[in-house]
Amino acid sequence: AQKITQTQPGMFVQEKEAVTLDCTYDTSDPSYGLFWYKQPSSGEMIFLIYQGSYDQQNATEGRYSLNFQKARKSANLVISASQLGDSAMYFCAMRGRNSWGKLQFGAGTQVVVTP
């Protein structure tokens, strides 16, 4: 069985600062994918970044980077230079190799960026 844990229900961050959102996972699949999605107050789900379990390098997409530590089973999202528009709910998700694409989501972390 797979499990995704996000232990931070909410956090405040000041504009222009970096923020790290924690995500740990548990799976017996030898191959898996880790995803982060953003859900602003308008409700849509926006894909941010993907990390494959066999990728040697940590994924980066603009101001987003994924700090992947396989031995610790963690896949933390780092947002650099926070902007007011980053205020949203952030979800970590995992897909196992044999899961037919099924994404297992964490409970989410609510981020509020303050001026």
Partner 1 sequence: DTAVSQTPKYLVTQMGNDKSIKCEQNLGHDTMYWYKQDSKKFLKIMFSYNNKELIINETVPNRFSPKSPDKAHLNLHINSLELGDSAVYFCASSQRVQVEQFFGPGTRLTVL
Give the binding site for partner 1 (CB under 8 A). 33, 35, 37, 39, 43-47, 50, 89, 91, 93, 95, 97, 99-105, 107-108
Closest distance between partner 1 and the C-beta of residue 16, in Å? 27
Q: Which is nearer to partner 1, 101 or 115 (CB)?
A: 101
Between 1 and 44, whose beta carbon lies closer to partner 1?
Answer: 44
- Beta-bridge partners for 95: 33
Q: Are 17 and 82 in contact (CB under 8 A)?
A: yes
Q: Between 25 and 37, whose beta carbon lies closer to partner 1?
A: 37
Burial call 63-76: b when 16+ CB within 10 Å, e when fewer = ebbbbbeeeebbbb
Q: Is 64 helix (H, G, I), strand (E, B) or coil?
A: strand
Q: How far is the CB of 44 from partner 1 (least distance, A)?
A: 5
Using only C-alpha atoms, the chain has a radius of gyration, in whole angstroms, of: 14
